[in-house]
Amino acid sequence: GFALAGELSFTLAGRERTLAVARQGEGPLWAVFADATSGDTSFRFRFLYPQAPDAQGRTTVDFNRAQLPPCAFADHFLCPLPPPGNTLDTAVEAGERTLR
């Protein structure tokens, strides 16, 4: 299963932000996040899968790669909600945002 892997720290809209991330085995990190567009111009929350940090502890946080969770497509999927602290007060107008 997934285990808490730590936090990603990054700058967004000129401010330092953090997201709690999980990881399964040696795979990529997994962040469940919401933002200022959630429930309005995007789904309630989205998934992000950044690569694990390099030897210096760095990775790329690319919101263009944000994905809709499976529960955005059908009600029979169960999806975890963003953990406390993973709601950004900035609009992330990138990545998959909503179904058309």
Cα-Cα-Cα-Cα dihedral sign, residues 19, 31, 48, 36 = negative
63, part of any domain: yes
| Dihedral class, residue 95 (left if φ above 0, else alpha if ψ from -120 to 50, else beta) | left
28, part of any domain: yes
The strands making up 46-48's β-sheet, listed across from edge to edge, are 3-12, 15-23, 29-33, 46-48
The pLDDT value given to residue 11: 96
Cβ neighbors of 35 (< 8 A, separation 6 or more) are 42, 87, 88, 89, 90, 91, 92
The pLDDT value given to residue 49: 96
- Which residues form the domain of 56? 3-72
What tens-digit pLDDT sequence spans the chain (100 residues)?
677 889 999 999 999 999 999 998 888 999 999 999 999 999 999 999 999 999 999 999 999 999 999 999 999 999 999 999 999 999 999 999 998 7
Note the pLDDT tens digit of each residue in 83-96.
999 999 999 999 99
| Dihedral class, residue 39 (left if φ above 0, else alpha if ψ from -120 to 50, else beta) | left
66, part of any domain: yes
Task: Name the domain count of the chain.
Answer: 1
27, part of any domain: yes
93, part of any domain: no
The pLDDT value given to residue 1: 65
88, part of any domain: no
89, part of any domain: no
56, part of any domain: yes
